[in-house]
């Protein structure tokens, strides 16, 4: 037995989907309103935090990257050398790289290890 949805049900579904809008438009609006917040989302979505940490603090094997400038960031992302994964423009657009750079620019600089009591023992 096949159930036919009523016209009202379809209209309600269409209205709900229109109210949500396309996902890309919401992300684009967010990047216009707050590029650093949109950049944080891109940073997390593309796995940057897996190596560099959620606030770009780095780890024992990866550098801290707060404030990393856009041009060197894009050059590093597009390079197939070094320990970083390669991100072509097809995978990570220049616009998304700029959002990541905006996020990194908004972060406070990392403290030197000598200023962290647990590391200076």
pLDDT at 108: 92
pLDDT top residue among 117 and 6? 117
Both tokens of residue 76? 């590093």
Residue 77 lies in a domain: yes
Above 50 in pLDDT, residue 110?
A: yes
Residue 61 lies in a domain: yes
Q: What is the mean pLDDT of residues 40-63?
A: 94
Q: Which of 73, 76, 95 is nearest to 84 (CA)?
A: 76
Give the distance, in angstroms, between the CA of residue 64 and the centroid of all CA atoms in the same chain.
16
pLDDT at 44: 97
Residue 96 lies in a domain: yes
pLDDT at 54: 94
Domain coverage including residue 62 = 23-108
CA distance 87 to 93: 9
Q: Hunting for tokens 């996902």 — which residue is that? A: 23
Question: Do residues 84 and 48 make contact, with C-beta atoms less than 8 angstroms apart?
Answer: no
Residue 27 lies in a domain: yes
pLDDT grade for 59, boundaries at 50, 70 and 90: confident
CA distance 108 to 106: 7
Say which CATH number the domain at 103 has: 1.10.760.10
What is residue 65's DSSP assignment?
Answer: -
How large is the angle between the packed helices 94-106 and 35-45, nearest 10 degrees? 110
CA distance 113 to 55: 16
Domain count across the chain: 1
pLDDT at 60: 86
CA distance 32 to 11: 32
| pLDDT, tens digit, 9 for 90 and up, residues 78-109 | 999 888 999 999 999 999 999 999 999 999 98
């Amino acid at each position: 037995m096949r159930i036919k949805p009523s016209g009202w049900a379809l209209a309600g579904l269409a209205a709900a989907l229109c109210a949500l809008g396309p996902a890309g438009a919401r992300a684009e609006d967010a990047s216009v309103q707050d590029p650093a917040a949109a950049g944080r989302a891109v940073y997390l979505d593309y796995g940057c935090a897996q190596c560099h940490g959620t606030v770009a603090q780095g780890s024992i094997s990866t550098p801290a990257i707060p404030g990393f400038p856009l041009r060197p960031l894009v050059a590093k992302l597009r390079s197939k050398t070094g320990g970083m994964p390669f991100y072509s423009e097809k995978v990570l657009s220049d616009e998304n790289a700029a959002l990541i750079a905006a996020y990194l620019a908004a972060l406070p600089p990392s403290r030197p290890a000598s200023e962290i009591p647990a590391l200076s023992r």
